[in-house]
């Protein structure tokens, strides 16, 4: 053994090294799987330009719909495409983060996970390293969309960019954790796809990505309140379009933070009890 | 080094390890030999703390596997049956990843990676993605990875499973070199008897979750009686073939046993399990004594239609202790993503 008699600080340093290694591996694989990147960017663009432009042209003629909720902010005239843009960014984060969990299943099938678990590394570190990897992936994919946002007239400044990044990281930590939790006990990719479609689509559709949260039927507004992604999308909308969403920005962040941390804790627990083989 | 005590592993309906005891010494190549499903891999997984035993325990490098799994892990290297490196990373990147996981100090990290790459002969391919490696190269990369942190013991689970004969030979060469240069213990599982014979200092024959024989390969073989003569006799009594049919029964076997039993060099006479007409005679120094045996049988009217003799192999050892042949085992397909994906679908 090379490492015997280590001091406390060295232990922390080496655990951070392990965290870095796990993260770096996820990041490198992400960069090399170009098809994954292209495919996951394509779908949000379809939503933005086909649904956004198509539905927007109809909605634009209906003067009664005020997407910006202009009565409070005083800003009206935000078209549908611009309105759903934060939602589409949110969608990209939701999908890429939760689907990231499926790589746990790949890792297990190809024994890579076993090789990591037989190393002297804590399950918590594996979980956090993977979660950071998923967050990085989601952020990079969202970044592509943010650039495209400039084309449809979304403007950023330093503060809005920083808050957008922070929101995306928070949201993706929670949803990557959710994906990892699912990946920790689902054994087949088919099973993962199935369960994920029961999770991802409700998360997306209930988040208010595609419609304003005001004036919803009671049952629907309850469901949207229960969706943690709602607060992420709402916060993104505030940060990107400079309007007040359904909730004040601070409330969004606080609720998002709490729900994300709770999912993360469950995630660590689920990795600890995950079988190595 | 490794001391296994009363180890039991039960799954819902099978007992994978049945009160297994074994001690493995420092600096030896210890072979766990047995058919698929004998419990070899289960034993290795338990020793590597990947699964927990139902009861019993083991001490690996001074650490109890149930009480200090993390210390056990730091002190061992393990090479799984199926290569477990990341296809998308290069050989070098895989090693670097694991050098972090095993806390190889940063000042010697690169040096250590070069050393192990050199040891397994992959230095010139280190910048290639693992998905472009052959099956043999993947195995060697796994071995390199297992050695990164200078473990005291390395487990090799079926190190040549699915490799072509040439790759197997190369792998054997590297394993031998490993012991010479790294001075560590190797515990390997195999169902290839020639592999165990060639590489191992001691062999534990494992069947149905128990060690049924444990010794050096040469001792195990010597205990059988040094050599094996197989012959197919017929009786020349001048009559028709009916008498030959009669001879396939036990009486005939008894006659031969009686005839040959008086010789010191004949250890045992048995009927072949598979071919009823064949007799298996365990003798010392078959080369010299074969003529005597043939003469003796001939003088008593027993003609030999064919003769074969060979030195015993570990296969014969297994046959003797387990009471059956090591059944032919299908090798798993090895190779790239597509093959592994196809396999994954079948699981």
* Cα Rg of chain B (Å, integer): 25
pLDDT tens-digit readout, B139-173: 999 999 999 998 999 999 988 888 888 888 888 88
CB neighbour list of residue A74: distance below 8 Å, 6 or more residues apart: none
Angle A45-A51-A55 from CA coordinates, rounded to 5°: 150
Collapsing DSSP to helix, strand or coil, B231 comes out as: strand
* Chain B CB contacts of A33 below 8 Å: 88
> Is the pLDDT confidence value at B18 over 70?
yes
**A115 Cβ under 8 Å from any chain B Cβ:** yes
Pairing of β B227-235 and β B302-310: antiparallel
**A75 Cβ under 8 Å from any chain B Cβ:** no
Collapsing DSSP to helix, strand or coil, B249 comes out as: coil
pLDDT averaged over every residue in chain B: 83
* Chain A CB contacts of B104 below 8 Å: 2-3
What pLDDT does residue B235 have? Answer: 58
How confident is chain A (277 residues) per 10-residue block, as mean pLDDT? 57 89 95 86 90 75 49 54 92 95 92 94 96 96 94 90 96 97 93 90 93 89 95 94 87 96 97 89
What pLDDT does residue A14 have? Answer: 84
Greater confidence (B334 vs B317) lies with: B317
pLDDT tens-digit readout, B198-235: 999 999 999 889 999 999 988 888 777 668 888 887 65
Cα–Cα distances in angstroms (integers) from residue A127 to residues A20, B60, B193, B346, in the given order: 12, 27, 41, 28
* Chain B CB contacts of A29 below 8 Å: 86, 88-89
pLDDT tens-digit readout, A68-108: 554 433 345 678 888 899 999 999 999 999 999 999 999 99
H or E segment to which residue B210 belongs = strand B210-215
CB contact under 8 Å between A25 and B97, yes or no, is yes
* Chain center to CA of A200: 11
What pLDDT does residue A8 have? Answer: 65
| Nearest to B347, CA basis, from A181, A198, A116, A190 | A190
* Burial of A46 (C-beta count, 10 Å sphere; 0-12/13-18/19+): exposed
pLDDT tens-digit readout, B21-30: 999 998 899 9
Q: Which residue of A lies nearest to B75 if distances are taken between CA atoms? A: A1
Q: Following CA atoms B246, B250, B253, B257 in sequence, which dihedral angle do they give, to the nearest 10 degrees?
A: -140
Pairing of β B227-235 and β B202-207: unpaired
* Chain center to CA of B128: 32
Long-range CB contacts (< 8 A, 24+ apart) of A34-42? A37/A140, A37/A141, A40/A92, A40/A95, A40/A96, A40/A99, A40/A141, A41/A92, A41/A141, A41/A144, A41/A145
What pLDDT does residue A73 have? Answer: 36
What pLDDT does residue B331 have? Answer: 42
What pLDDT does residue B335 have? Answer: 42
Residues B110-121, mean pLDDT to the nearest whole number: 92
CA dist B89 and B79 (Å) reads: 18
* Chain A CB contacts of B150 below 8 Å: 1-2
> Is the pLDDT confidence value at B336 over 60?
no
Cβ(B188)–Cβ(B200) under 8 Å?
yes
- SS3 of A138-188: HHHHHHHHHHHHHHCCCCCCHHHHHHHHHHHHHHHHHHHHHHHHHHHHCCC
Residues B93-115, mean pLDDT to the nearest whole number: 95
Q: DSSP label at A63?
A: T
The token duo for B310 is 């060979």
CB neighbour list of residue B327: distance below 8 Å, 6 or more residues apart: B35
pLDDT tens-digit readout, B71-86: 999 999 999 988 899 9
| Residue ranges of domains in chain B | 2-221, 225-311
**A57 Cβ under 8 Å from any chain B Cβ:** no
Residues B277-293, mean pLDDT to the nearest whole number: 83
| Nearest to A214, CA basis, from A44, A69, A91, A70 | A69
What pLDDT does residue A246 have? Answer: 87
| Nearest CA-CA distance, residue A243 and chain B, Å | 44
Pick from B70, B80, B97: CB nearest A111: B80
What pLDDT does residue A72 have? Answer: 39
CATH: 3.20.20.140, 3.40.50.12140, 3.40.50.300, 3.10.180.10. Which one for B2-221? 3.40.50.300
Cβ(B46)–Cβ(B58) under 8 Å?
yes
The DSSP secondary structure of B144-180, one letter per residue, reads HHHHTT--SEEEEESTTTT--HHHHHHHHHHHHHHHH
> Is the pLDDT confidence value at B346 over 90?
no
CB contact under 8 Å between B100 and A20, yes or no, is yes
CATH: 3.30.70.100, 3.90.76.10, 3.90.660.10, 3.40.50.300. Which one for B225-311? 3.30.70.100
CA dist B304 and B324 (Å) reads: 26
Q: Which residues pair with B239 in a beta bridge?
A: none
What pLDDT does residue B333 have? Answer: 39
What pLDDT does residue A88 have? Answer: 95
CB contact under 8 Å between B97 and A24, yes or no, is yes
Residues B36-41, mean pLDDT to the nearest whole number: 86
CA dist A140 and A134 (Å) reads: 10
B259 pLDDT band, cuts 50/70/90, is: confident
CA dist B343 and B331 (Å) reads: 12
CB contact under 8 Å between A114 and B50, yes or no, is yes
Q: Which residues pair with B210 in a beta bridge?
A: B207
CB contact under 8 Å between B51 and A276, yes or no, is yes
* Chain center to CA of A172: 3
ipTM over 0.95: no
| Nearest to A22, CA basis, from A125, A102, A151 | A125
* Chain B CB contacts of A22 below 8 Å: 97, 101
Greater confidence (B333 vs B311) lies with: B311
Angle B117-B122-B125 from CA coordinates, rounded to 5°: 120
* Chain B CB contacts of A115 below 8 Å: 80, 84-85, 98, 145
The token duo for B301 is 């009217």
Pairing of β B29-33 and β B185-190: parallel
> Is the pLDDT confidence value at B276 over 70?
no
**A28 Cβ under 8 Å from any chain B Cβ:** yes
Q: DSSP label at B330?
A: P
The DSSP secondary structure of A212-268, one letter per residue, reads -STT--HHHHHHHHH-HHHHHHHHHHHHHH----SS-HHHHHHHHHHHHHHHHHHHH
């Amino acid at each position: 053994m090379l490492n015997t008699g280590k001091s406390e600080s060295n232990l922390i340093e080496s655990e951070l090294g392990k965290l870095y290694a796990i993260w770096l591996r996820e990041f490198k694989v992400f960069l090399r799987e170009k098809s994954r990147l292209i495919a996951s960017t394509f779908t949000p663009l379809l939503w933005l330009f086909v649904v956004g432009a198509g539905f927007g042209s109809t909605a634009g003629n209906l003067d009664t719909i005020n997407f910006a909720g202009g009565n409070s902010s005083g800003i009206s005239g935000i078209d549908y495409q611009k309105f759903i843009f934060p939602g589409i960014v949110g969608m990209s984060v939701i999908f890429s983060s939760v689907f990231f969990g499926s790589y746990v299943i790949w890792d297990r099938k190809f024994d890579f996970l076993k090789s990591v678990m037989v190393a002297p590394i804590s399950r918590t570190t594996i979980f956090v390293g993977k979660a950071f990897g998923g967050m990085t992936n989601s952020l990079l994919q969202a970044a592509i969309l943010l650039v495209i946002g400039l084309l449809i007239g979304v403007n950023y400044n330093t503060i809005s960019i920083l808050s957008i990044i922070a929101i995306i990281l928070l949201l993706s930590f929670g949803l990557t954790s959710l994906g990892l939790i699912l990946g920790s006990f689902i054994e087949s990719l088919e099973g993962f796809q199935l369960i994920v479609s029961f999770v991802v689509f409700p998360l997306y559709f209930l988040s208010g990505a595609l419609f304003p949260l005001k004036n919803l039927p009671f049952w629907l507004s309850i469901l949207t309140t229960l969706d943690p992604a709602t607060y992420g999308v709402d916060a993104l909308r505030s940060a990107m379009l400079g309007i007040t969403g359904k909730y004040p920005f601070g409330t969004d962040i606080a609720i998002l933070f709490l729900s994300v941390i709770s999912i993360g804790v469950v995630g660590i627990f689920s990795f600890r009890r995950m079988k190595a083989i | 080094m490794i001391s296994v005590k009363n180890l039991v592993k039960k799954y819902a309906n099978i007992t994978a390890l049945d009160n297994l005891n074994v001690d493995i010494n420092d600096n030896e190549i210890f072979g766990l030999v047995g058919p698929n499903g004998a419990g070899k891999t289960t034993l290795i997984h338990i020793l590597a703390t990947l699964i927990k035993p139902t009861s019993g325990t083991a001490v690996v490098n001074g650490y109890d596997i149930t009480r200090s799994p993390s210390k056990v892990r730091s002190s061992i290297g393990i090479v799984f049956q199926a290569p477990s490196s990341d296809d998308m990373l290069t050989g070098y990147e895989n090693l670097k990843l694991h050098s972090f996981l095993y806390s190889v100090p940063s000042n010697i990290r690169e040096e250590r990676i070069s050393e192990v790459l050199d040891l397994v002969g992959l230095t010139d391919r280190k910048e290639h993605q693992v998905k472009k490696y052959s099956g043999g190269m993947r195995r060697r990369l796994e071995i390199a990875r297992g050695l990164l942190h200078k473990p005291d013991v390395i487990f090799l689970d079926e190190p040549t499973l699915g490799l072509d004969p040439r790759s197997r030979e190369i792998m054997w060469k590297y394993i031998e070199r490993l012991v010479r240069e790294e001075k560590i213990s190797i515990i390997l599982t195999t169902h290839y008897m020639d592999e165990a014979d060639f590489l191992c200092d001691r062999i534990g024959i494992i069947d149905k979750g128990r060690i049924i024989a444990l010794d050096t390969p040469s001792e195990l073989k010597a205990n059988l009686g040094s050599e094996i003569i197989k012959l197919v006799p017929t009786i020349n009594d001048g009559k028709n073939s009916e008498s030959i049919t009669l001879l396939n029964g036990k009486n005939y076997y008894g006659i031969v046993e009686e005839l040959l039993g008086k010789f010191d060099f004949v250890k045992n006479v048995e009927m072949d399990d598979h071919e009823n007409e064949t007799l298996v005679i365990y003798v010392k120094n078959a080369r010299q004594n074969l003529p005597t045996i043939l003469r003796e049988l001939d003088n008593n009217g027993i003609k030999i239609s064919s003769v074969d003799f060979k030195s015993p192999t570990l296969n014969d050892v297994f046959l003797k202790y387990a009471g059956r042949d090591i059944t032919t085992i299908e090798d798993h397909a090895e190779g790239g993503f597509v093959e592994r994906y196809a396999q994954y679908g079948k699981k």
